[in-house]
Amino acid sequence: MNNSLRRIQAWRSRREQRSLERWEEIRAEGKARFVFRTSLTFGLTMVGATDFFDRIFDIDPHTITLGKVVYYVLAGIPIALIGWSNMEAKFQHALHEARVPALSGGEHPHNSNSLRITSDSKS
């Protein structure tokens, strides 16, 4: 049981590490680009999903309008901003967690922008 728990924790740690490394690449591209891509992706996905369900339930199967596309893309902007804020908070927390053990051990933190978190620095 204990071995299984360790494997799950290790898997989560690796997944979180990959997620934060990917976020580092995304944030380097800029907030505006992230918001644009995310809102466009959300909008087009929602238009496709609503069209699919309209066709399944035979509501109005032939109406993908420009209004729907604009509505969902605009609705995607606050969703993208919330997503940016959440990931940035996780990223900053991870940076802080990675720096605290280095400072308490008498070492100086590295001056690079890359994020490296070991499983020992997570509590």
Q: How many domains does the chain have?
A: 1
For 94-110, write each residue's pLDDT tens digit.
888 887 766 666 554 44
Please give the pLDDT value at position 12.
86
Confidence label for 111 from pLDDT (cuts 50, 70 and 90):
very low
Please give the pLDDT value at position 61.
65
Cβ–Cβ under 8 Å, residues 78 and 42: no
| Token couple for 72 | 């969902």
Give phi and psi for 61, each to the nearest 5. Answer: -70, -5
H/E element holding 122?
none
Provide the residue range defining the domain that includes 100. Answer: 2-121
Q: Is the pLDDT of residue 50 over 80?
A: yes
